[in-house]
Structure 1
Amino acid sequence: MFAQHNTDLSYYLPQDITYNTNIPTPESIIGHQVGQWHISHDKLVQYMNALAKSSDRITIKTIGKTFEDRPLLLLTITAPKNQIKIETIKKEHLDATNDVSNVNVDNMPIVVYQGFSIHGNEPSGTNAALLAAYYLAAAESNDVKDLLEHTVILLDPSMNPDGLQRFAYWANSNKNKNLTSDPNDREYNEDWPKGRTNHYWFDLNRDWLAVQLPESRARIEAFQEWLPNILTDHHEMGTNATFFFQPGVPERVHPLTSNKNQEITKGISNYHAKALDKIGSFYYTEESYDDFYYGKGSAYPDINGGIGILFEQASSRGHVQESSNGLLTFPFTIKNQFTTALSTLEAAKNMRVEILNYQHNFYENARSEAAKQKKNAIVFGDEKDFSKTYHLAEILKKQNITVHELNADFTAEGKHFKKGYSFIIPKNQKNIRVIDAMFEKRTVFQDSIFYDVSTWTYPLAFNVDYSEGAYMDKAGDEVTNLQLKDGEVSDISNYGYVMEWHDYYTPKALNAILNKELRAKVALKPFSLNGKTYDYGTILIPVQNQALESNELYDYLKEVAKNSHVEINAVFTGITQGIDLGSRYFKSLDKIKVALLVGSGVSSYDAGEIWHLFDQRYDITITKLDVNSVYGADLERYNSIIIPSMLSSALSESATKKIKTWVQNGGTVIGYENTIKWFNSKEFAKLDFKDKAKVPAHNITYEQESDFKKAQTISGAIFEAEIDRSNPINFGYKNNKIALFKSTTLFLEADSSSYNNPIKYTKTPLLSGYISKPNLEVLKSTVPFKVKSLGKGNVVSFTDNTNFRAFWFGTNKLLMNAVFFRDQL
């Protein structure tokens, strides 16, 4: 009926050329025609290896592994004579981006990185990669040979293997023999959490700058190894759309992206239009999508001297589906992706010299601009928390940014920077524009609509002190071997041990201690001992009456300190300046037993970030409890239940009642974003919401309605809040203010009693990003956090995500405090 089962290579490939019969076709290896079934990752790997084995145009390597241990492949495709000298070509290419004058690019190959299906359930890209790789290996035309002589193609056939495998299984296992195009069919309605994301349900296309995930780390290392001139990012969008390619909305380009970049992007787009016109495919450009957030694939190259190109193909979501443009078949979606993969290469070949010169000039101009800056360095650090500081430095190093040690302690702008706990970034370096993109605070914008977040200021996300100034005289040695500090126990004691709560990994250490059935207490007040002041939240581990003998306890704590990179100090007396160690202000802590609600109606992004935080960062066992299993589950196994942002309909009334009874009996439930509205409606907690601003739509046309409404949202901005450091929710923070990420228009009224407002937005809260002026007025002096009692238990409410995209290290401890110190809140 749909002529899909018999689709062969002639449907996709140019037919006016010959193909090398020694090169295996996709069908000969994977067992079916491209587009007949959704390619699984294992078969994709099998085919790519077969191609590399049979073609002298291709080399292949595994550049990393996913969380599920699938290989991340990268094919290098170029002429055989280039393959022989590929390392020389790479060196010459990178040399042209360094401080080399009079570079002649006339005979240099252009480097094109082609990335497919970073969202696993947008599979037309990866399936097109089968065709692109075969075409480049087998096509015998002079045009293709000329292309390969002048181009190095880095082909990344599946940027999200775990998600691709999950979706391919779904689409294939729900495929009918007699294909149905009915959008209501199960084939087109993927189950939670869907294949878009990776193992921990992260959107990998938001991690190019933060590089927190293994897929991203491998990809960015490959990118920085080559600095490609063009990078293509093949996606899918709604079924009723057509095809999109960049440039996007002109007003929504980040100011750090040059006009020349957009001019070249426009020039490349003409090749896509011509190619799609030839096969009769409809498309659009300069609409909806933007080039603002550098953390996504199509914008990341723009700040690295390259040209990023986003492709968005209307998705069949299965094998064939009805759409407003007629029947949309899977092979048709693949054909469009393949067609634009080839048009990109044609543009690269024909615009080669212009684009190579652009990249050389990009870095030359960047160095020139950097050399003129009077504020020649950025210093950042946290004298109480090296681990968090380390992880920010780690990101910088992965972005090929030079970082130096501090040569001595110093104070700047009222902030103290400690040697060994701080780093210096010279501004006069090649990647100054990446530095600017990561550290800038921006509150003025050309447009008020954002496809993604409006800001991502990294030192604010990490909650580290930082300052920009003429600090290069404070720079010590360049950091070449960045490492976390070795944790240690200062001495053996027969009395007790104390651990300040400041370091990022203290929750990991405390969890290991409690899981060993060891007694531990938390200090509700500061104290001083042996010349050292211990802050709120210091953990005390007594030696007596423990499950381990004193020598065994010492050995175990040494292991914990080493694995968690924390400092544990031996103490030999209970007498202190402040509360003594036997004080009632030391409260006993229990082993944490945490459940995380997941499933239909729950935000998979938010749930995945929490799962990843516990599982990967802190080695804390967490139970993923499906919303459909709550009613039949034994909730007494847990003392904390975390509910990410959730639809009000996600839990049945019986499940809701069960959770409420569990809280009344002493449990702590922690809710985020929309979940706190559910708390209010289900009478878990009485929360006083403040209405978001109502802006009258005066002089707004029908055409402008959508943009007008979007401008009243908060796509992602950063705000300042004052914190009460004596409240357990804020233990581990050394400053009286904190930067918070906000992407909702949920506003909570402050309590009339100030001690019930441990976190409160300031009267001038905007630090970076976009918020409409009316909503900014509403936000001032509201609170992002509340805790209410319900029977013997607690209901903890966060208006916004404290774990955003795994790189908001600075607020992870808020959730940890809510879990570990739930009885003290």
Structure 2
Amino acid sequence: MKKLLFLFFLSTFSLVGQEVDLSYYLPQNVTYNKSIPTPKSVIDHEVGEWHVTHDKLAEYMKVLAAASDRISIEKRGKTFEGRELYLLTITSPENHKNIESIRKKHIDATNDATIDVSNDPIVVYQGFSIHGNEASGSNAALAVAYYLAAAENIDAILDNTIILFDPSFNPDGLQRFSYWANTNKSKNINPDPNDREYKEVWPGGRTNHYQFDMNRDWLPVQLPESRARIASFHKWLPNILTDHHEMGSNSSFFFQPGIPSRTNPLTPQMNQDLTKEIGTYHAKAFDKIGSMYYSEESYDDFYYGKGSTFPDINGSIGILFEQGSSRGHAQETVNGVLTFPFTIRNQFTAALSTLEAAKNMRTKILKYQQDFYKESRNTGSSKAIVFGDEKDAAKTYHLAEILKTHQVKIHEVKSDFTENGKTFKKGYSYVVPMNQKNQRLVKAMFDVRTTFKDSLFYDISAWTFNHAFDVDYAENVSLAKAGKEITDLKLNAGTISSKSNYGYLMPWNEFYTPKALNAILQKDLRAKVSMNNFKNDGNSYDYGTIFIPVQNQVLDADEMYKFLEKTALESHVKIVGVSTGLNDGIDLGSNSFKAITKPKVAMLVGDGIAGNDSGEIWHLFDQRFDMRLTRIDMSYFTRVDLNKYTHIIVPSSRIGKDAIEKLKAWTQNGGVLVGYKNTAKWLASNKIMKLEFESPKRENIEGITFENKSLKSGAQVIGGAIFEANLDRSHPINFGYKDNKLAFFRNSTMFIKADKDSYNNPIQYTSNPLLSGYISKENAKVIKNTVPFKVQRFGRGRAIVFTDNTNFRAFWFGTNKLLMNTIFFGDKM
């Protein structure tokens, strides 16, 4: 079908220096209720004159809700920085009187396809600016909310629609960006792209507090902002969800559908058909105001962790809007000067065209949602899946927590059983019946896919959750294995077996053992790590078991017991009091128990450092393990005395020679340097590590046209796939892992050759490593038997490198412990 494309030159771009009032955004020939406050009357500036700060945006929404019987407002939680997460419900006053019965019937209709929905309102979730520096969305929310509250003669929309209105998906990022744009605004607006206004300082306003891209967290739901909106989503199951973004300044306006060949195969075709029909309403609205737009290009509907795609696997229709960004108040582009008010007007227009489409397509879309869930129930299996880790209850719990957040029914294991050679232990495993309403979502979460229609992806091509969490997993399990359904999911409490006058042992398998060990060391207690397996009192202990002797400590035996009891409880780990140091294997007094140094860890941040990667590491230390992490900005790094730090982490980076020389000297003097991704290149080029890299051979590209040249090169990108590696569990980097294989996420094409001595390859990809996701034939030939990790002595210190992020998007729990092993045991590698 012909692509929607409109190429008028935009005279409206030339608004630089001109004052724009509210009428610029609003439809013509509409009257407004004068008792409803305008945005300017509350925030003290016109929409688009300044970038609205989140506090002003929130204040206007509260004032609007108080003034209008069309609007109610609720608090759903707070961001990491303590900002409220508001949701407005906008509909007719009559609907508000019956809102809970409307919601209940709407949900009931997804459970019973015989319920007549022809007279029911459609539910539309409108969300703005999940990337804080894509600010035209949240600024447009001011005008959209005013219109819906004050416009007269819009009863047809309000009577037939429940609008869930989320004015700011990302309050912390929006606040950060608005501060930047406003503090750098000139009275005489300068549209030169080189002006400081358009060059945010690191890390920019795109992300939330911990520098996460929140538009990748709809499925993993690891962040408070995500959990709030996902709770609202499942409470209502909206029929349409819109997600307002920005893109490069030289672009126009994009609306979905995206590239058809890049739609996830689990998404029904009818979803895309309806999306395309909705697109005709956007086209009509943009034609009317003379704005350029395009569709069916650039973007896709593959990864279900995005706002435009997550709804598609939940019976809804997700729609992405991308507006060319002014990034400040006005900027020169290939299309002329792009002003902030113009970008806001386009977002406003798309918001209203969505509501027009919802009104006119209401019955059709409501019926589609009913059919989606009817088919889900009819195609569900009578079997179940089971996942777990017999030595790590916490990691397994957090996977179950995601499922529960998405209202997936899970059951405890009735009793311990073995399936496919794996033990699924009660309290450490969960059963998920596949004859339930959300079984399509479950399939999407555990999907394994290695063949694709298209070789290009806007985001990752694999996210298989059992691999992400490194849990044992089995499909087609009998429901007879399921115990009672879990309605109140709780993490197992930590315990200490008994008081000891000799010492305590803590296995290193549980996810939160780093938190416990850090608490022990910060208390100035001595602790040692076992370099071998052993048995004590008939119990088996793996490599990496922590031994805390009682004698010669800063606490006496009674104080130590009380402290360790509290630590075990807070960290959800098991600590065992022992009465003897005589073991089967190495004894507790053996030199094979190595003393652990209390770590003091720093990480480089700032210009040249990957913001997402560094933020994910910061989040891991701060939120998961309660460990202090000193973040040293590159702007003053060369002036910092590094001698107080035992470890320095360098995320993917581009740093200067002076900084490299400083790190080199510090490492030679005994420090542990931990690098990620392209850090490997400068570690090798500066002779800190001896690394050899593999590269794919360039294949013949005859027959490739100029038009398709970028597609050929793009197909060589590993946008995000999962690969299997063999582990040498005796090596300290692998302490705490119970299996000899581990799934790694990678989104780079950096391949390091294995060492000729196998003991120097404690982690090595298998000869056929692809578990899930896309990799080109050329890269597939190269990756086999390469290594994603290397450690080498450098002077008195250690240099350690990972080719990929072990903490990806906070949900790759399975490889989190690798970084912690470098922190506590790096000097023993």
Identify whether the pair has TM-score above 0.5, normalized to the shorter chain: yes
Alignment of 1:350-749 (within 5 A): 350-370=360-380, 373=381, 376-647=383-654, 650-651=655-656, 653-749=657-753
Residue 696 of structure 1: how far off its partner (Å): 2.4
Distance in 1 (alpha carbons) for counterparts of 2:643 and 2:756: 35
Q: What amino acid maps onto 1:569 in structure 2?
A: V
Give the match for residue 119 of structure 1: 131
Compute the TM-score of the two structures, normalised by the length of structure 1.
0.98
Percentage of pairs with the same residue: 62
Residue 532 of structure 1: how far off its partner (Å): 1.1
Kept after mapping to 1: 8 A contact 2:720/2:746: yes
Q: What amino acid maps onto 1:410 in structure 2?
A: F
Residue 693 of structure 1: how far off its partner (Å): 3.7
Give the match for residue 257 of structure 1: 267
RMSD: 0.8
Give the match for residue 195 of structure 1: 205
Kept after mapping to 2: 8 A contact 1:692/1:747: no
1:775 is the counterpart of 2:779: yes
Secondary structure of 1:35's counterpart equals: coil
Secondary structure of 1:732's counterpart equals: coil
Distance in 2 (alpha carbons) for counterparts of 1:150 and 1:765: 52
Give the match for residue 13 of structure 1: 26
1:290 is the counterpart of 2:300: yes
Comparing 146-155 with 676-685, greater Cα deviation is found at: 676-685
Give the match for residue 316 of structure 2: 306
What per-residue deviation string (whole Å, max 9, x for no partner) do you get for residues 334-377 of structure 1? 0000000000000000000000000000000000000xx36x10
Q: What amino acid maps onto 2:310 in structure 1?
A: Y
Residues 775 and 52 of structure 1: CA distance in aligned 2, closer, same or farther (over 3 Å): same
Residue 764 of structure 1: how far off its partner (Å): 1.0
Structure 1 stretches of 4+ with a deviation exceeding 6 A read none
Alignment of 1:332-343 (within 5 A): 332-343=342-353
Kept after mapping to 2: 8 A contact 1:721/1:762: yes
Compute the TM-score of the two structures, normalised by the length of structure 2.
0.98
Distance in 2 (alpha carbons) for counterparts of 1:504 and 1:696: 47
Residue 414 of structure 1: how far off its partner (Å): 1.1
Give the match for residue 141 of structure 2: 129
Gaps of 5+ in 1: none
Secondary structure of 1:559's counterpart equals: helix
Give the match for residue 791 of structure 1: 795
Comparing 497-506 with 10-19, greater Cα deviation is found at: 10-19
Give the match for residue 326 of structure 1: 336
Q: What amino acid maps onto 2:204 in structure 1?
A: K
1:153 is the counterpart of 2:163: yes
Kept after mapping to 1: 8 A contact 2:16/2:189: no
Q: What amino acid maps onto 1:697 in structure 2?
A: I
Kept after mapping to 2: 8 A contact 1:167/1:194: yes
Distance in 2 (alpha carbons) for counterparts of 1:115 and 1:494: 59
Residue 4 of structure 1: how far off its partner (Å): 4.9
Distance in 2 (alpha carbons) for counterparts of 1:670 and 1:116: 38
Q: What amino acid maps onto 2:98 in structure 1?
A: K
Give the match for residue 51 of structure 1: 64
What per-residue deviation string (whole Å, max 9, x for no partner) do you get for residues 676-729 of structure 1? 111111111111111134232121100001111010110000000000000000
Residue 459 of structure 1: how far off its partner (Å): 0.4
Give the match for residue 8 of structure 2: none
Kept after mapping to 1: 8 A contact 2:16/2:339: no
What per-residue deviation string (whole Å, max 9, x for no partner) do you get for residues 545-570 of structure 1? 00001000000001100110000000
Distance in 1 (alpha carbons) for counterparts of 2:501 and 2:616: 40
Q: What amino acid maps onto 2:370 in structure 1?
A: H
Kept after mapping to 2: 8 A contact 1:5/1:36: no
Distance in 1 (alpha carbons) for counterparts of 2:615 and 2:633: 13
1:168 is the counterpart of 2:203: no
Kept after mapping to 1: 8 A contact 2:494/2:570: yes
Secondary structure of 1:274's counterpart equals: helix
Q: What amino acid maps onto 2:788 in structure 1?
A: P
Distance in 1 (alpha carbons) for counterparts of 2:604 and 2:636: 10
Kept after mapping to 1: 8 A contact 2:242/2:318: yes
Distance in 2 (alpha carbons) for counterparts of 1:655 and 1:8: 50
Give the match for residue 764 of structure 1: 768
Distance in 2 (alpha carbons) for counterparts of 1:138 and 1:48: 13
User: Of residues 33, 46, 50 in structure 1, which corresponds to 2:46?
Assistant: 33
Give the match for residue 115 of structure 2: 103
Residue 18 of structure 1: how far off its partner (Å): 0.6
Distance in 1 (alpha carbons) for counterparts of 2:17 and 2:780: 54
Kept after mapping to 2: 8 A contact 1:379/1:471: no
Residue 6 of structure 1: how far off its partner (Å): 1.9
What per-residue deviation string (whole Å, max 9, x for no partner) do you get for residues 57-99 of structure 1? 000011110000000110000000000110000000000111x
Secondary structure of 1:38's counterpart equals: coil
Residue 754 of structure 1: how far off its partner (Å): 0.4
Distance in 1 (alpha carbons) for counterparts of 2:454 and 2:659: 44
Kept after mapping to 1: 8 A contact 2:16/2:337: no
User: Of residues 267, 270, 280 in structure 1, which corresponds to 2:277?
Assistant: 267
Distance in 2 (alpha carbons) for counterparts of 1:602 and 1:292: 28
Secondary structure of 1:379's counterpart equals: strand
Distance in 1 (alpha carbons) for counterparts of 2:17 and 2:101: 45
Kept after mapping to 2: 8 A contact 1:63/1:74: yes
Kept after mapping to 1: 8 A contact 2:386/2:477: no
What per-residue deviation string (whole Å, max 9, x for no partner) do you get for residues 28-51 of structure 1? 000010000000000001100000
Comparing 360-369 with 685-694, greater Cα deviation is found at: 685-694
Distance in 2 (alpha carbons) for counterparts of 1:229 and 1:530: 60
Secondary structure of 2:243's counterpart equals: strand
Distance in 2 (alpha carbons) for counterparts of 1:503 and 1:250: 43
Secondary structure of 1:187's counterpart equals: helix
Give the match for residue 809 of structure 1: 813
Residue 15 of structure 1: how far off its partner (Å): 2.3
Kept after mapping to 1: 8 A contact 2:16/2:330: no
Residue 471 of structure 1: how far off its partner (Å): 2.0
Distance in 2 (alpha carbons) for counterparts of 1:655 and 1:349: 59
Distance in 2 (alpha carbons) for counterparts of 1:120 and 1:17: 31
Kept after mapping to 2: 8 A contact 1:4/1:331: no
Comparing 348-357 with 629-638, greater Cα deviation is found at: 629-638
Distance in 2 (alpha carbons) for counterparts of 1:773 and 1:809: 29
Residue 5 of structure 1: how far off its partner (Å): 5.0
User: Of residues 72, 77, 81 in structure 2, which corresponds to 1:68?
Assistant: 81
What per-residue deviation string (whole Å, max 9, x for no partner) do you get for residues 138-186 of structure 1? 0002xx1111000000000000000000000000000000011100000
Distance in 2 (alpha carbons) for counterparts of 1:52 and 1:500: 54
Q: What amino acid maps onto 1:311 in structure 2?
A: F
Kept after mapping to 1: 8 A contact 2:650/2:675: yes
Residue 629 of structure 1: how far off its partner (Å): 1.6
Secondary structure of 2:639's counterpart equals: coil
Distance in 1 (alpha carbons) for counterparts of 2:750 and 2:234: 40
Distance in 2 (alpha carbons) for counterparts of 1:470 and 1:527: 35
Give the match for residue 211 of structure 1: 221
Distance in 1 (alpha carbons) for counterparts of 2:122 and 2:481: 40
